[in-house]
Structures are given as C-alpha cells and as structure tokens.
Homo-oligomer: A and B are copies of this chain.
Amino acid sequence: MRVGVIGGGQLARMMVPPAIELGLKISVLAESEGSSAGIAATAVGDYRDAQTVLDFAETVDVVTFDHEHVPQEVLRALVDAGVAVHPGPDALLYAQDKLRMRERLSQLGLPVPGWAAVETPSALDAFLAEYGGRAVVKTPRGGYDGKGVRVVSSATEVADWFGDGPLLVEELVSFRRELSQVLARRPSGEIALWPVVESIQRDGVCAEVIAPAPASAGRVADMAADIATAVAENLGVTGVLAVELFETTDDRILVNELAMRPHNSGHWTIDGSTTSQFEQHLRAVLDLPLGATGCRDPWSVMVNIFGGLAPERMPLALADPTAKVHGYGKEPRPGRKAGHVTAGGEDLDDVVFRARAAAAIFED
C-alpha cells in the first residue's frame, strides 16, 4: 500500500515513521529540496499545478496532505482522474475557507461564536457595535498560526483587507481556556477519538498541550467529543480531524477552527497513546481499521521547540531519560516550529516541569 502526501513539512515528516513501521510505502510531493519530510520526498513541485499533482498521484494508492492549501480545482482534478483523495475536496473546503466553515457549522446547529461575513467597513463597524466594540477579523483563506487574524475595535484596523471578497468577523469570545478534540474517521465511517486536550497558545501559536485537558472528564469531554463527531460525520471528513474549541467563561464549548490533518495538539499521541495521530491518519486514509486511542500515561504534556535544535544541546535535552525529544530537521530560524518535547507520568506538575525543562534547553 502506497500513501502519497502533498507537502513536505513536519506533519508529512511525522507520517513517515508509522508508515515504515506498518510496512507501507510513503512518498511526499515536497515544495522544495531539503524539506522537513525530505527522506520520503520522491518529487519536488508546485502543489497548485494540477499536472504536477496528477503525476505524483499516479505513483500512489491514496493522496493525503501535510497542509490545506491545495486548491479545490486541483483536488477536483484528482478526484475526476479516479484518485483516492482523503480528506476529499468537499470536506477540505471547510478547512480551507473559514467563512464556509462558519456557515456550515451554523446550519448544523453546532456551537460557534457570533459571526458575520462583512464586505465593507460599515458592516464591520455595525458588528463591532453589536458585540461590545471589539471583535476578531479573519481572512477566510490562507491564515495559520495567528496569521490572517486580527483583533480590532475599528474597521480602519483592517482597511488593507477589504476589497478581496468578504471577511469573517467573529465575537471576541471570553474563554477560560482553549481545548482541542482530535479524532480520525475512515471513509467507511469508523471514528476513533483521543481524549480532549488543553492547548496553550502564545502569540497565536500553539505552545503547550496537556492531555487529557485537566478537569475535563464528564461534561466537557462529552461535549467536545459530540461536537467533533458531528463535524466529522456531517462534513464527511476522512483522516485526522482536529477541532479547536473555546471553553468559555460561561461554560459553553464553541468551535474555533478546524484542521483536516494531523495537528499540533495531537503530537503528544506519538509517545502518549497506543496509536499516534500520524499512524491513525495513515490507517484512516487507507480505510484500515483504526487503532486504540488509550493513553499510556495519566498525563502527557507536549511543549513546542521554536527556532532550532542545536545539536550541541541534544545531550542536555536528553539528560532526562523519559523526555521524548522530536526534531523536524529544519534549518534554524527564529520563531519557527523546530520540534517538540513530550513527557508523561502520573503527577501533572512534574510532567509539565519535565517537558518544559527539556524544551527550554533549546531556547536562546
């Protein structure tokens, strides 16, 4: 069985180990030489070019993704050519376009922040007046890790964004914490969920994840699981789905964002679950039975490493024999996600301390 991944980032990279373990062939269509997933890169080319992607697809049994940026017309060309594509274009649309996602989830009656599509500054100002004077404006497409997102109190703050189609404006949610529910779904319908996790962001970027989310057993976990399952089933998601959630100060759970691929909030599963999100994604897109999603430790904590993993610091980072250090094989660059550390154990304070301590070794 041959899996093809479009995009050569760290998510594609982390699909390679479970592909090797399962005895699969994996190949990657990378954007450039020397990508994070370079060890599996069998082609280098532009994922926006239909012929490039079709040629790549001929070498594999199923096509999946490292990112959501493959244009709909390219995805449709694959499907028209009879290629198995997971997730498919009809589902992926809602991870590509935040406005379409908000429309669809609202139609489904799923809990979302107050939102509107605004095409003019006056429409945005009207929304601001209705929602207490501050709101979040998002470009519907292309944003990630805080890019394409601004908190504004006046339409003038996004004056540069108008004129290129409608913008999404959302209520500035008063939330207690951010959660993430990751699951996988097979084309034949089977779903497996990991426990809901707490995701701690810094500057709009995921910094730490605690699994399971503290004090989430019962109502919070049930709501998160129900919402994510409804999203997966109604949108026809195949492969891994991450549903980013707000737990509001008034005890609601609202959907923030969707990602239809392995997600930073699921990296802990490599070390902390019987089946990692990367193995599960491969199983799901190949329509193989899903693996068990139980936790290996009462608590797992993942801390991202930004910048780079200087080799001379590896001995110190590995000095804690239980710290699992992961590097993405990228050239160092300030602020870049370069790796992560996962720790596990029975005492959450201790686990947080150990994960942070190992990750901090690489800080400048």
Interface residues, chain A, CB within 8 Å of chain B?
1, 13-14, 16-18, 20-26, 39-40, 192, 270, 274-275, 283, 288-292, 296, 309, 311, 314-315, 318-319, 321-322, 324-329, 339
- State in angstroms the CA–CA spacing of A283 and B13 once bound together: 20
- Which residue of the partner chain B has the closest CB to A305? B23
A-B contact pairs, 29 of them (CB 8 A): A1-B314, A13-B20, A16-B17, A16-B20, A16-B39, A17-B18, A17-B20, A21-B270, A21-B326, A21-B327, A22-B314, A22-B325, A23-B309, A23-B325, A23-B328, A26-B39, A39-B39, A274-B321, A274-B322, A275-B321, A283-B318, A288-B315, A288-B318, A289-B318, A289-B319, A289-B321, A291-B318, A291-B321, A296-B296
What CA separation (Å) do A329 and B19 show in the bound complex?
Answer: 10
Distance of A290 Cα from B288 Cα, bound (Å):
35
**Complex Cα spacing A283 to B311, Å:** 13
Q: In the complex, what residues of B have CB within 8 A of residue A318's CB?
A: 283, 288-289, 291
Chain B's nearest CB lies how many Å from the CB of A256? 29
| Bound CA–CA A319/B318 (angstroms) | 36
A24: chain B residues at CB < 8 Å are 327
Q: Nearest 6 pairs between A and B by C-beta?
A: A23-B327, A17-B17, A292-B321, A289-B318, A292-B322, A289-B319
Q: Which residues of B are found within 8 Å of A16, using beta-carbon distances?
A: 16-17, 20, 39
Residues of B within 8 A of A326 (CB): 21-23
Residues of chain B within 8 A (CB-CB) of A288 are 314-315, 318
Q: Which residue of B lies closest to A309 (CB)?
A: B23
Q: Is the CB of B22 within 8 A of A327?
A: yes
The CA-CA distance from A248 to B26 in the complex, in Å, is 46
Instruction: For residue A80, give the distance in angstroms from its CB to the closest CB of chain B.
Output: 26
Cβ of B1 and Cβ of A311 under 8 Å apart?
A: yes
- Bound state CA distance, A308 and B201, in angstroms? 46
A132 to chain B, nearest CB (A): 45
Residues of B within 8 A of A22 (CB): 314, 325-327
Q: In the complex, which of the residues A23, A274, A321 has the most CB atoms of chain B within 10 Å of its own CB atom?
A: A23
Cβ contact within 8 Å between B17 and A329: no
Does B1 contact A20, Cβ atoms closer than 8 Å? no
Cβ contact within 8 Å between A17 and B25: no
When C-beta atoms are compared, the residue in chain B nearest to A316 turns out to be B289
Q: How far is the CB of A269 from chain B (nearest CB, A)?
A: 13
CA distance A65 to B103 in the complex (A): 57
Bound: A325/B274 CA distance, A: 12
Q: Which residues of B contact A40 (CB under 8 A)?
A: 39
Residue among A24, A291, A321, A328 facing the most chain B CB atoms (10 A cut-off): A321
Given the known A-B contacts A311-B1, A322-B274, are A39 and B23 also in contact in the complex, defined by CB atoms under 8 Å? no
A275 CB contacts on chain B under 8 angstroms: 321
Q: Do A289 and B315 touch across chains, with their CB atoms under 8 A apart?
A: yes
Contacts of A324 in B (CB 8 A): 21, 274
Q: Is the CB of A329 within 8 A of B23?
A: yes
B17 and A321: CB pair below 8 A? no
Given the complex, which residues of B lie within 8 Å of A314, measured CB to CB? 1, 22, 288
